[in-house]
Amino acid sequence: MMQPRRQLLRTVLPAAALAAALALSISSFFLVRQWERTRAERAFRGVALDRFRSIEEQLRDETLKLRLLRATYLASYEAQSGSYTGFIREFRATVVAATLTDSSTATIAFARAVPASERSAVVATMRANGYPDFEIRDRDPNGSFGPSGSRPSYYPVLIAEPSSRNNQIQGWDLSNVPAFRSAMERASATGNAVAALGQVIAGGPAGNLGVWIFDPIVEPTTSREALRGSRPTVDGFVVMQLRVSALVENALTGLTPSGIDILVYDITGPARRRLLYAHQSRSRPASISALQAPARYQWSSTLSLGGRRWDIVEKSGPAFVRAHTYFVSWAVLGGSLFSTAIMFAFLLWYLRRTRAVELTVAETTAQLSREVEEHTRTEDSLQAAHDDLERRVADVNQRSREIELLSEMGDLLQTCQDLPEACNVVARFGERLFPRESGVLFMFNESRRFLEASTKWGPTAVGETLFSSDECWSLRRGQIHSVTDRTDSLVCVHLG
């Protein structure tokens, strides 16, 4: 029973130990891998958050330019009275002093609300103030400018900086562009800056999307108009054209490259997502479709600009993935598997060594068992012979004693003078011949038909003291009648 159990143990123990070690190795690998992934995700989120905040701060700085120029306009009496000479000078001085134009800002302009009745006067004023070719114009889908048609009101660009790359848009009626007209109407209704998407006109490749921000300049209302809740009058707009690509790149200029791609989507309204710009990490020049594919690490957040919502999506590039490779988990797995192999080899050697020792011990034990068994058989034989000899001696002694007693009893019976003395001798020697038994001596009476108890010995009474010879099976059969089990044998009547 023990041998199969040991054999099973030798088979199961290495397999169980190997399975446990492999399970521990794999569990350690996945735990360390999860720790590495969490650490990489946290690092990616930290780097991505830094870039998002930098872009957010850059955008905030750009919107501050609009507020500064609107304040410049409201502080200029000449602009509000219709003479633009001093205002144009102050506008340019403000733009230059505050370095409001950079690679992010393609255009900073002022567009004045001009009713159709004042169109000729505004054109004459601008020509008199140093712009002899000024004209209110429209831009066709091909990008060419021409005289604007007749409409109730106009929003021409009176001044655009930097002038070196924005001369072509001076006099452009922005309200002729449907997206711009809608943005200006919402800005007029709310009194807040509103952004719209449009083609980059200056400072970038033709046809690229840019962001145009319209910040309304509201004339101060009288207290009576405020009480009536009338809509304030918009005098014009400070207009800014932003290049999203330059905005993102300027925001990332002071940051350490980390191998992260950035995609800027416009998600305003029910329309589909529109990709405004894709920043490629220096480690992966790739196509736009490749940049839009899922990455190992990805994080996004939303910015708001003039009523439009941008989704800033940041993805890990090859450089970031290489810098956060899961080498620790693989090292742990390799070390665990190596340790498992060493442990398994040692266990096999130990089991084989144990098996060899057990075989040697088993052989020695078997030999000793055989010797002990042979010695035991010899002892048993000797003991049996000794016991038999003792029984024989006991039998001989018993027979000798019985013979002596019978001889002595015979001598005494021969010397007895009468029957009572003989009966007394029989009783005395009956106790000695049968020390553990009870007995009775019956004798026939004179009629020879009945037997009567003449003497008895032993502690117990034995049947009746007088009975007929027909009641005894021994007398009827003429031989000894022995009863060992009263339930299986015939019992004499006189014995009850």
Instruction: Name the token pair of 489.
Output: 């044998």
What pLDDT is stored for residue 228 in this prediction?
47
pLDDT exceeds 90 at position 155: yes
In 256-323, which residue ranges form alpha helices assigned H by DSSP? 288-291, 318-323
What pLDDT is stored for residue 279 in this prediction?
87
Cα dihedral sign for 68, 84, 210, 247?
A: negative
φ, ψ of residue 462 to 5 degrees: the values are -120, 95
What pLDDT is stored for residue 137 in this prediction?
92
What pLDDT is stored for residue 1 in this prediction?
47
Average pLDDT over residues 306-332: 85
3-state DSSP percent of the chain in helix, strand and coil, to 5: 55, 20, 25
Pick the range with the lowest mean pLDDT from 66-75, 308-317, 418-427.
66-75
Cβ partners under 8 Å of residue 30, min gap 6: 329
What pLDDT is stored for residue 459 in this prediction?
78
pLDDT exceeds 80 at position 220: no
Q: Which helix (H) or strand (E) holds 154?
A: strand 153-154
- β-partners of residue 38 are none
Q: How far apart are CA 322 and CA 317, in angstroms?
A: 9
Pick the range with the lowest mean pLDDT from 156-165, 170-179, 218-227, 282-291.
218-227
Q: Is 122 exposed, middle or buried (0-12, 13-18, 19+ CB in 10 A)?
A: buried
Average pLDDT over residues 395-411: 87
- Which DSSP symbol is given to 173? B
Taking alpha carbons only, the member of 31, 44, 4, 112 closest to residue 333 is 31
- β-partners of residue 310 are 266, 303
pLDDT exceeds 70 at position 5: no
pLDDT exceeds 50 at position 164: yes
CB under 8 A, 24+ apart: contacts of 7-12 = 10/351, 10/355
Under a CB-based contact definition with an 8 Å cutoff, are residues 202 and 101 in contact? no
Average pLDDT over residues 428-439: 84
Taking alpha carbons only, the member of 112, 110, 114 closest to residue 66 is 110
pLDDT exceeds 70 at position 15: yes
CB under 8 A, 24+ apart: contacts of 336-340 = 336/21, 336/24, 336/25, 336/28, 336/29, 337/22, 337/25, 339/21, 340/18, 340/21, 340/22, 340/25
Under a CB-based contact definition with an 8 Å cutoff, are residues 317 and 281 in contact? yes
Taking alpha carbons only, the member of 315, 319, 311 closest to residue 293 is 315
Under a CB-based contact definition with an 8 Å cutoff, are residues 240 and 51 in contact? no
Higher pLDDT, 231 or 435: 435
Under a CB-based contact definition with an 8 Å cutoff, are residues 457 and 430 in contact? yes
What pLDDT is stored for residue 54 in this prediction?
93
Residues in the chain: 496
Q: How far apart are CA 70 and CA 445, in angstroms?
A: 167
Under a CB-based contact definition with an 8 Å cutoff, are residues 480 and 486 in contact? no
- Which DSSP symbol is given to 253? T
Tens of pLDDT, residues 92-142: 777 766 555 556 788 888 898 899 998 998 899 888 888 888 999 998 878
- β-partners of residue 452 are 443, 466
Q: How far apart are CA 35 and CA 40, in angstroms?
A: 9
Average pLDDT over residues 162-180: 85
Taking the model in full, what pTM does it have?
0.62
Q: How far apart are CA 337 and CA 88, in angstroms?
A: 78
Tens of pLDDT, residues 323-332: 888 778 788 8
What pLDDT is stored for residue 50 in this prediction?
93
What pLDDT is stored for residue 219 in this prediction?
65
Q: How far apart are CA 137 and CA 115, in angstroms?
A: 15
